[in-house]
Structure 1
Amino acid sequence: MGALNKVASAPIVGRLGLKKPVEKTVYQATKTGFTTLGAATRTFSAAQKLTKPKRLPSAGKASLFDLTPTDEQKMITETVTEFAGEQLRPAAAQADDKCAAPQELLSTAAELGVTLIGVPEELGGVGVERSAVTNVLVAEAMAHGDMGLALACLAPSAVSTALVLWGSAEQQATYLPAFVGEDVPAAALAIQEPRPLFDPFSLRTKAYRRADGYVLDGVKSLVPLAGQAELFVVAADIDGRGPALFVVESSTAGVTIASEPAMGLRAAGLGTLKLNQVTVPESALLGDGSAESYAECVRLSRLGWCALALGTGKAVLDYVVPYVNERVAFGEPVSHRQGVAFKVADIGIELEGMRLVTLRAASRADQGLPYAREVALARKLCADKGMAIGNDGVQLLGGHGYVKEHPVERWYRDLRAVGLMEGGVLV
């Protein structure tokens, strides 16, 4: 309880006392785009020597099926919800227009301690057991403010979570201290590739084995915080044997970043990561390159996107209910029309189903139980119904749903990403 209090009592709660972190030199995506070498990065070095990697234990099997958040989870969620409402929501429209998240907002999100939740106490974090459910609740609360900004804020924690789950003792000692300090690095999990019907288990990004390590060659797309990220976890196929994850520092020779503004998630600063004969040491391989580690990464990433869909879908519902109650047509609120009332009810019903299957999958992951089937169900439901909720939100506002004066058009564009995005977030 005391460890989790560190998150809820982070400096963000005392907003007037927030210190301004040292400004970094970043290259942010704009509508005109950019192409640059990897961001100037800090020197990552082992702060301590670990004899073996630190893993968070499973939560233990529950005798009853109960997805009620614990008091600690409620406390964290309330803090993040306040941050999303007061910080993310007001900045969302401008960030979407500029295709970049404000640096000061990202720094404030880092001070909130999101990356601490999944890092063991022995390594400076506040984690005591697997935290997929907690991370789902955090992602949902952030996305209620804005999905694009939530993705930008959560991108570094995807890398820290990957290091905790599959990193070696050397990788954890080298990189994790940066994620529990005051100056959390921009980082991203890069799985997506720029081609139709992308399959994360059939990668065109290749890793060729060499005597001194691996050579990576390929392109990753829709990478959050691409222009300013100092560290990437990259998915690549090893010599045609199967996909695996690699830790790649952005300053490595052969790494190039280009802007990639998309239809939605524009506030996340999406970009393309190009790997041209990038040489990494053998120690850069995560999880010993096992197929199960990579499959788990894909599953946990998809759960993250389900959580983002939940938060954004709830934002749509919370916006359209007062709108249809206050919008008067033909002498009465439009919510008196069955066609309107039933559509609003459908949004609420679908959100409850989406939330149940997502939390069930996350709960099984925390308990160390098989959860592949549950993730597949959650992904399918959240992708289909998330898009439908976004579309219905626009429809319920009529002509107002099509203009930027109201945020539902942005939420609609963001929700369409849920069914196609891989990587970026990790719970």
Structure 2
Amino acid sequence: MARDIQGLGLNMASRFAGSEWAEKYGLRKPAEKLAYHSTKQGFKWAGQWLAKRSAKQQTPRLAAPDSRALFDLTLSDEQQMIHDSMRAVAQDLLRPAALSADEDRHISPELWQQCQDLGISQLAIPESFGGARSDQGDGITTSVLLTEALAWGDLSLAYSLLAPAAVASALRQWGSSEQMAQWFPLWQQPEPIKAAIAVQEAHPLFDPQRLSCKAKKTRRGYRLTGVKTMVPFAGQASFYLVAAMLNGKPRVFIVAADSPGLSHQATPAMGLRCSASGQLTLNKVEVGNDCLLGRGQAFDYRAFIDLGQLHWCALATGCAQAALDYLIPYCNEREAFGEPISHRQSVAFAIANIGIELESMRLLTWRAAARADPGMSFHREAYLAHVLCADKAMEIGTQAVQLLGGHGFTKEHPAERWYRDMRALSCLSSGLHL
């Protein structure tokens, strides 16, 4: 209503000021002045009127939400300490050794011993068996933080160093007390143990739920036949966790490295070169009844795979963070056409997109891990995290090479190695477990 009255008055004053009658009798200037003051006063009066009206109709605001119900990402003191310690290990030990380990296709014994002496695998073993894994319900999230921090140093080295810890995690969660008592003492020996998970198979559109490797029940145990590929430490590990189909359902078996019928062959790959990946051939390998993982309890193979995929997500997140931390100073310091290349919008937007996608990768991974810790369903969250991380890790690796220009294609900078390693995320479903 106030706006209508003001508009009518302004319209009449404007029409009078522009009329021939006002021009004839010299009233144009006074009329324009009147229109100006009327408009100014009208806006003031209309504003006061509308303020009084809205005050009468104003509804009370909702109460502020309870902050305790919000999603809290604050790390505990122990988690922060572990993350900081592993970041220091990544900075001081992994980064200096990353290039040579990639070229030599193996981890030096000195580096392997140093990292295992730090107790990385012990964080996956329960305290009752001499490890450092507590039952407080935050072990999976802590493992994600540890993995991300190590991958910041180098993804391939982190993958290799965590392979035995992944086996220990699977034994802790799915193994019987007899199996843990048999195998966990291997982690307490002076010589660091090597162990690996074998799920991946070399056929198109591999689905970990549909395996070609078969297990058949026998009088003494089980007979395994099949081929596994991209197995870390193939031929070097003390034992393997092998996935195979048993009675139409996927299960996991403990297979000792010296089992008759088990052979291996080296299969160097594009990425993850220092993991000494290879192919395992199981030709009617006989294992005992006590070698079935999850024997006598409800074994959730889907959760077994989901926890492995989350491990890959954490590796990709750490490596992507390393790429971002490397690209920002490089693009700020490198000059082209008289100015830093970061002043170009295409470069600045590419780096900004890396930061956005990186935070998305991290939050989805942490969310899935936070649900898995207390035993909540997390399959949907793990699937979403893996789909996003597999896609964005490849994109970030490509951008890292691209933004470095010709340098990105050379071994002078680590971008080409990051690209090769992060490519594995969309190809592999093997080797890891949180």
Partner in structure 2 of residue 381 of structure 1: 388
1:183 counterpart = 2:191: yes
Partner in structure 2 of residue 412 of structure 1: 419
Shift of 1:180: 3.9
1:246 counterpart = 2:277: no
8 Å Cα contact 1:245/1:289 also seen in 2? no
1:274 counterpart = 2:281: yes
8 Å Cα contact 1:390/1:408 also seen in 2? yes
Partner in structure 2 of residue 200 of structure 1: 208
Partner in structure 1 of residue 92 of structure 2: 86
Partner in structure 2 of residue 312 of structure 1: 319
Q: Percent identity?
A: 49
Partner in structure 1 of residue 127 of structure 2: 121
Which of 351, 357, 374 is 2:358 aligned to? 351
8 Å Cα contact 1:309/1:415 also seen in 2? yes
Mapping for residues 12-411 of structure 1, pairs under 5 Å: 64-129=70-135, 130=137, 131-239=139-247, 241-288=248-295, 292-411=299-418
> Which deviates the most, 107-116 or 204-213?
107-116
Shift of 1:379: 0.3
Greater helix percent: which structure? 2
Shift of 1:421: 1.1
For residues 70 and 193 of structure 2, the distance between their equivalents in structure 1, rounded to whole angstroms, comes to 40
Partner in structure 2 of residue 25 of structure 1: none
8 Å Cα contact 1:254/1:277 also seen in 2? yes
3-state SS of 2:330 partner: helix
Q: 1:374 to 1:211 in 2, by over 3 A?
A: same
3-state SS of 1:76 partner: helix
Unaligned runs of 5+ in 2: 1-67
Q: 1:79 to 1:182 in 2, by over 3 A?
A: farther
> Which deviates the most, 110-119 or 168-177?
110-119
The one-letter amino acid of 1:205's match is C
Q: 1:368 to 1:291 in 2, by over 3 A?
A: closer
Shift of 1:185: 1.0
The one-letter amino acid of 1:316's match is A
TM-score, normalising length: structure 1: 0.83
3-state SS of 2:331 partner: helix
For residues 194 and 289 of structure 1, the distance between their equivalents in structure 2, rounded to whole angstroms, comes to 31
For residues 126 and 311 of structure 2, the distance between their equivalents in structure 1, rounded to whole angstroms, comes to 20
8 Å Cα contact 1:226/1:272 also seen in 2? yes
For residues 107 and 296 of structure 2, the distance between their equivalents in structure 1, rounded to whole angstroms, comes to 33
The one-letter amino acid of 1:122's match is S
8 Å Cα contact 1:305/1:425 also seen in 2? yes
Q: Higher relative contact order at CA 8 Å, sep ≥6: structure 1 or structure 2?
A: 1
The one-letter amino acid of 2:369's match is A
3-state SS of 1:418 partner: helix
TM-score, normalising length: structure 2: 0.82
Partner in structure 1 of residue 53 of structure 2: none
For residues 183 and 138 of structure 1, the distance between their equivalents in structure 2, rounded to whole angstroms, comes to 23
Unaligned runs of 5+ in 1: 1-61
3-state SS of 2:79 partner: helix
8 Å Cα contact 1:106/1:152 also seen in 2? no
> Which deviates the most, 103-112 or 314-323?
103-112
3-state SS of 2:424 partner: coil
8 Å Cα contact 1:67/1:363 also seen in 2? no
8 Å Cα contact 1:115/1:180 also seen in 2? no
3-state SS of 1:234 partner: strand
**RMSD in angstroms over aligned alpha carbons?**
1.4
- Paired residues, number: 365
For residues 359 and 369 of structure 2, the distance between their equivalents in structure 1, rounded to whole angstroms, comes to 15
8 Å Cα contact 2:200/2:229 also seen in 1? yes
8 Å Cα contact 1:400/1:406 also seen in 2? yes
For residues 382 and 292 of structure 1, the distance between their equivalents in structure 2, rounded to whole angstroms, comes to 27
8 Å Cα contact 1:244/1:291 also seen in 2? no
For residues 361 and 343 of structure 2, the distance between their equivalents in structure 1, rounded to whole angstroms, comes to 27
Shift of 1:197: 1.1
For residues 417 and 68 of structure 1, the distance between their equivalents in structure 2, rounded to whole angstroms, comes to 30
8 Å Cα contact 1:243/1:291 also seen in 2? no
